[in-house]
Amino acid sequence: MITLYINNIKTEVSEETTILEAAGELGIGIDTICYHEKLTPPGLCRQCVVEVEGARVLLPSCITKVKEGMVVKTDSERVIRARKTILEMLASSTDLTDSPELNDQIKRYGADTDRFNNSEERNYPVKDDNPFYVREYSKCILCERCVQVCSSDIQFSYALTTAGRGYDNRITTFYDKNLPETTCVFCGNCVAACPTAALIPRNEFLNRNGGVL
Amino acid sequence: MGNKKDRVFGEFLNSISEKSRTSLLPALLEAQELFGYISESTAELIGSVLGVPSAEIYGVIEFYSLLYSKPTADTIIRICTSPLCSLKGSYKIKKALLEKLDLEDGVSSGDGLFMVESVQCLGLCDHAPSGMVNNKSIVNISIEGLDDIINGKYSAPENRAFGTNPVLTERFDRIDPESIADFIREGGFTGFHHALTLSRDNLIDIVTNSGLLGRGGAAFPTALKERGALEASGTGETYIVCNADESEPGTFKDRIMLSRDPFSVLEGILISALIIGAEKGYIYIRGEYQDARNLFSRVIESAEANGYLGKDIKGSGFNFDLELRSGAGAYICGEETALFESIEGKRGYPRNKPPYPVVSGLFGKPTNINNVETFSYLSRIMGSNKTKIIDSELKTLSGTRLFCLSGDIKRPGLYELPFGISLIDLINDWGGGVSGSDNIKTIILGGASGSFVPEEHWNIALDQESLRAVGLSMGSGVIMVFNESRDVRDILVDITRFFSHESCGKCYPCQLGTRKQLEIVEKIRSAAPSLGDFSRLEDIGFTMKDASLCGLGQTASSALLSAVKIWPELFKSGEETGVK
């Protein structure tokens, strides 16, 4: 067993536990974005970072394993500043109207969604190329869950990939082909994994938009 | 003609010995070279031969700047628009070139003959403005010289070095870099032969006592990496990797090292392999260093022919193979774990650490990865032919390093000088002083990911301890000088644009922060700071530094944050400064 301190509370957990899990056992919630308990955590959104005594930078709690004597702060000034800034930058890049969890975080951190309002937003036309679901990538936050479930985490269809680089990263298919022309088997796992309604069942999309695409 | 190229490419695919994902980048680069782009059918063919899902191949093509999914042109002219070349007018040159050829930026001409585009730092900052015509470097380009460039007339860079009592550069003028005989005549492989007589523990002790720190930028003790990889591997598989993906704006030392004394790098790699018991190594040279790559591939052949690579090297029973890999245009692949991903045939996404490379590196095996200069230095440390371990002479051997001097300086170039030389002496006494005006405006130490040096520290001694004490870092030995006519905001636009272009986009702080800081700096330069810009920049910078996944993101705001500290008035609105 490993003994550590989270927000000044002493706790004992088994080896290989992550800080996120150890905090959860104490009832301390740590906000996440890309993390999904059924998937391999990619540790890319950095929203779950925490301050660990002795560490040079903030550490992602979803993948950082506990260590003997570790002293963790999940809500220090540094942590809050990073999380709030990440939310503000994300809100200025992506349409978060259908992201309830993110909107809840924005509210709780008091993030100013207009803070970077002179910024170039990632706008893409709606892709409606199959009878099952619609892809609205203006709402995509690049958590890459859809690529994970389509690939080795669940389905092994390998229809999706991240293309581009940096801010211009985007989720797409082989040479941007329409889904029916790809290896997609329409299993729906990507739609289930999407946290922002960037991937949404076609009927639901039509209902929300009064029947208009 | 298409059929002939298809046949050639088919033969290339057949000739690949390892038909798996690790051969993806070599195959894509070959296709790019042959066809000028990678078509859907070529990508599908590669995928079927190497067993890689086609969507992922597209993701890889779209990640690397030197790979294209659409047709390009017979002649691609790339103009460097990174900080130092931009300073010397490369944007104007590019504009003039586009007009001359009647082209749009990055778009091939109708006849498929020409294409002109920007490229990020080519490691030719001592010859700014620089560029490339297909795979050839072009240097000191000017608007007047554009016709010559279009007609295929241009000169290669001079790879000179300056300094006193050199260690790393001492053979430069005495050898033909390609000649193994010259190298041996000038003391080459002495270190390797010496190493063959010692135990691994003895070897690591020598490296420890030399005090050698990594020369790629992070200054991590070389001996600790060796010890770590050795302990993690036991008797299992392990790798040596030479990181020659030099891409930090202002850095060109590795290009010159590889061009002038490549065998010394190979010797250092061999010594490291001996230390950790690796039988396979890779040298990953950035895609834009075509000349260095061609030379190094001949160096490997020559070493194989002379029994310095392969089975039972020099009768020692030690086996080691070295494979040359080429990058494809991505600064991030200089980050060690992104480099592993690239060799493994993936997008150059850095991995979360831990696990560290010494435990789980290339192909998940313990790996010892070092910079070009570090390997070369290792050969000199071993080559001093001392059997006693603790030896003051060995200590002094780590006493020089390579400095890359560029910008507004009379004699830009590579300088090998002792640690501890003062920054301003290096600029004035060695570099001949500032050029273009009488006074220095500012100095950047450490490259685009380094910092502006406050004026009170211009005489600082260039060694780890002195610099650390005032919060500066030498990084990869970069010193950029700017004369008093320069506007700090221009420099910052170039630097932030560089990072926005080179962020891999994996983690949010860097993916979003590199773009947002560029947008704000551009606006401040063209208009004026608005209320809150100062705190916005500080919050972005802090978040990138404290929460990014890798070293790129953690340092992508370093220059900007240092500028905000030195010249706060440039970033504050009238209300904030109290000046209306």
Could you read off the pLDDT of A32-60 as tens digits, one per residue?
999 999 999 999 999 999 999 999 999 99
Q: A165–B63: do the CB atoms touch at under 8 Å?
A: yes
Nearest C-alpha of chain B: how many angstroms from A211?
32
Among candidates A44, A166, A174 on the partner chain, residue whose Cβ is nearest the Cβ of B514: A166
Q: Does B33 touch chain A (CB under 8 A)?
A: no
Q: Does B63 touch chain A (CB under 8 A)?
A: yes
Q: B547–A163: do the CB atoms touch at under 8 Å?
A: no
Half-sphere exposure of B429 (CA within 13 A, CB side): 10
Lowest mean pLDDT among A63-77, A111-125, B152-166, B274-288: B152-166
pLDDT, residue B252, reads 97
Tokens of B90: 């490369």
**A97-106 mean pLDDT:** 96
Q: Which has the closest alpha carbon to A18: A7, A8, A34, A6?
A: A6
**B376-400 mean pLDDT:** 64
Q: A57–B545: do the CB atoms touch at under 8 Å?
A: yes
Q: Is this prediction's ipTM beyond 0.90?
A: yes
Classify burial at B210, counting beta carbons within 10 Å of its beta carbon; exposed 0-12, middle 13-18, buried 19 or more. buried
Question: If pLDDT is split at 50, 70 and 90, which confidence band does B100 have?
Answer: very high
Give domain limits for chain A. Answer: 2-75, 133-208
B63 interaction partners in chain A (CB closer than 8 Å): 163-165
Looking up tokens 């600790």, which residue turns up?
B224
Q: B554–A162: do the CB atoms touch at under 8 Å?
A: no
Among candidates B508, B513, B523 on the partner chain, residue whose Cβ is nearest the Cβ of A118: B523
Q: Which has the closest alpha carbon to B329: B522, B78, B112?
A: B78
pLDDT, residue B392, reads 43
Nearest C-alpha of chain B: how many angstroms from A1?
20
Nearest C-alpha of chain A: how many angstroms from B545?
8
Q: Does B513 touch chain A (CB under 8 A)?
A: yes
Residues contacting residue B86 through CB under 8 Å, at least 6 positions apart: B129, B490, B494
Question: If pLDDT is split at 50, 70 and 90, which confidence band does B579 have?
Answer: low
B551 interaction partners in chain A (CB closer than 8 Å): none
- B152-183 pLDDT per residue, tens: 898 888 888 999 888 899 999 999 999 999 99
Among candidates A115, A151, A164 on the partner chain, residue whose Cβ is nearest the Cβ of B536: A115
pLDDT, residue B389, reads 36
Kindly provide the b/e burial profile for residues B477-510, where b requires at least 16 CB atoms within 10 angstroms of the residue's own CB: bbbbbbbeebebbebbbbbbbbbbbbbbbbbbbb
Q: Does B355 touch chain A (CB under 8 A)?
A: no
Tell me the CATH class for A2-75.
Answer: alpha beta
B503 interaction partners in chain A (CB closer than 8 Å): 165-167
Q: A168–B505: do the CB atoms touch at under 8 Å?
A: yes
**B88-92 mean pLDDT:** 96
Among candidates A82, A115, A163 on the partner chain, residue whose Cβ is nearest the Cβ of B547: A82
**A154-175 mean pLDDT:** 98
Q: B53–A142: do the CB atoms touch at under 8 Å?
A: no
Q: A92–B516: do the CB atoms touch at under 8 Å?
A: yes
Q: Is the pLDDT of residue B394 over 90?
A: no
pLDDT, residue A100, reads 95
Q: Is the pLDDT of residue B391 over 60?
A: no
Q: Is the pLDDT of residue A130 over 80?
A: yes
pLDDT, residue B166, reads 87
Among candidates A85, A160, A175 on the partner chain, residue whose Cβ is nearest the Cβ of B543: A85
Average pLDDT, chain B: 94
- B61-75 pLDDT per residue, tens: 999 999 999 999 999
Q: Is the pLDDT of residue A79 over 60?
A: yes
Q: B505–A167: do the CB atoms touch at under 8 Å?
A: yes
Q: Does B542 touch chain A (CB under 8 A)?
A: yes
Q: Is the pLDDT of residue B386 over 60?
A: no
Nearest C-alpha of chain A: how many angstroms from B425?
33
pLDDT, residue B2, reads 60
Average pLDDT, chain A: 96
Question: If pLDDT is split at 50, 70 and 90, which confidence band does B398 have?
Answer: low
pLDDT, residue A210, reads 83
Domains present along chain B, CATH in parentheses: 2-63 (no CATH), 75-150 (3.40.30.10), 168-397 (3.40.50.11540), 401-574 (3.10.20.600)
Strands B239-244 and B280-285: parallel
Nearest C-alpha of chain B: how many angstroms from A29?
19
Nearest C-alpha of chain A: how many angstroms from B341?
15
**A157-183 mean pLDDT:** 98
Coil vs helix vs strand at B451: strand
Q: B547–A164: do the CB atoms touch at under 8 Å?
A: no
Among candidates B347, B515, B547 on the partner chain, residue whose Cβ is nearest the Cβ of A167: B515
Q: How many CB pairs under 8 A join A and B?
A: 144
- B196-236 pLDDT per residue, tens: 999 999 999 999 988 888 999 888 999 999 999 999 987 78
Among candidates A42, A44, A158 on the partner chain, residue whose Cβ is nearest the Cβ of B53: A158
Percent of chain A with pLDDT over 70: 100
Strands (E), A66-112: 71-73
d(CA B549, CA B235): 32
Q: B54–A158: do the CB atoms touch at under 8 Å?
A: yes
Q: In this structure, is the dihedral angle defined by the CA atoms of residues A17, A18, A19 and A24, taken in order, positive or negative?
A: negative
d(CA B474, CA B402): 11
Which of the residues B45, B46, B62, B349 would you substitute to probe the A interface, choosing the one with the greatest number of A C-beta atoms within 10 Å?
A: B62
Asked if the A133-208 domain carries CATH number 3.40.1380.10, the reply is: no
Q: Does B59 touch chain A (CB under 8 A)?
A: yes
Among candidates A81, A158, A174 on the partner chain, residue whose Cβ is nearest the Cβ of B543: A81
Which of the residues B508, B514, B536, B545 would you substitute to probe the A interface, choosing the one with the greatest number of A C-beta atoms within 10 Å?
A: B508
Q: Is the pLDDT of residue A168 over 70?
A: yes
Question: If pLDDT is split at 50, 70 and 90, which confidence band does A81 have?
Answer: very high
- B253-287 pLDDT per residue, tens: 999 999 999 999 999 999 999 999 999 999 999 99
Which of the residues A45, A165, A196 would you substitute to probe the B interface, choosing the one with the greatest number of B C-beta atoms within 10 Å?
A: A165
Among candidates A88, A165, A182 on the partner chain, residue whose Cβ is nearest the Cβ of B504: A165
Question: If pLDDT is split at 50, 70 and 90, which confidence band does B397 have?
Answer: low
d(CA B139, CA B150): 14
pLDDT, residue B158, reads 87
Q: Is the pLDDT of residue B388 over 50?
A: no
Cα dihedral A29, A30, A35, A40, rounded to 10, equals: -90
Which of the residues B511, B537, B549, B555 would you substitute to probe the A interface, choosing the one with the greatest number of A C-beta atoms within 10 Å?
A: B511
- B7-31 pLDDT per residue, tens: 999 999 999 999 999 999 999 999 9
Question: If pLDDT is split at 50, 70 and 90, which confidence band does B387 have?
Answer: very low
